[in-house]
């Protein structure tokens, strides 16, 4: 059973860097995420509507708390243009105590003034 202040990592991607930056800014500004890392573009290969597809995507690693993950997932789904965006929540089982405390203090669920 997770506690609301447990840290989780949300993994997603965006079709381009501009949209990835927009999503990251909104999630951090709205207090849903402490930090969003954007990676270098990658090639994703997947099966969609009976076809093998390939697309360049920008990976996103989003740090938040378990208590804010539901709101973050909903916001991410709204901001994302894909019909079925990749949104995976992974529990964080350890790490630097100072960093994990920082994530808890930043992911407040309250917009930044």
**Residue 113 is assigned to a structural domain of this protein:** no
pLDDT of residue 59: 98
CA distance 1 to 7: 13
The pLDDT value recorded for residue 1 is 62
State residue 108's pLDDT score.
87
Q: Which CATH number fits the domain that encloses residue 79?
A: 3.30.70.120
In a domain, 78, yes or no: yes
User: pTM for this structure?
Assistant: 0.93
The one-digit pLDDT tens for each residue of the chain (113 residues) are: 679 999 999 999 999 999 999 999 999 999 999 999 999 999 999 999 999 999 999 999 999 999 999 999 999 999 999 999 999 999 999 999 999 999 999 998 888 76
How many domains does one find in the chain? 1
Pull the structure tokens for residue 16.
């381009």
- Whether 77 maps to a domain, the answer reads yes
Is the residue at 32 inside a domain? yes
**40 domain residue, yes or no:** yes
Range of the domain at 18: 7-44+53-106
Is residue 2 a part of any domain in this protein?
no
Question: In the chain, what's the furthest Cα-to-Cα distance?
Answer: 47
Within 10 A of 60 (CB to CB), how many other CB atoms are there?
25
| Residue 8, pLDDT score | 97
pLDDT recorded at residue 64: 97
């Amino acid at each position: 059973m997770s506690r609301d202040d447990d840290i989780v990592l949300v993994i997603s991607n965006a079709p381009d860097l501009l949209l990835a930056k927009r999503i990251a800014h909104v999630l951090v500004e709205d207090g849903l995420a402490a930090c969003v890392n954007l990676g270098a573009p990658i090639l994703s290969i997947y099966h969609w509507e009976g076809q093998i597809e390939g697309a360049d995507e920008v990976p996103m690693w989003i740090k938040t708390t378990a208590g804010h993950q539901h709101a973050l997932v909903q916001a991410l789904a709204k901001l994302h243009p894909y019909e079925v965006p990749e949104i995976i929540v992974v529990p964080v089982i350890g790490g630097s105590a100072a960093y994990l405390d920082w994530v808890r203090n930043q992911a407040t669920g309250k917009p930044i003034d």
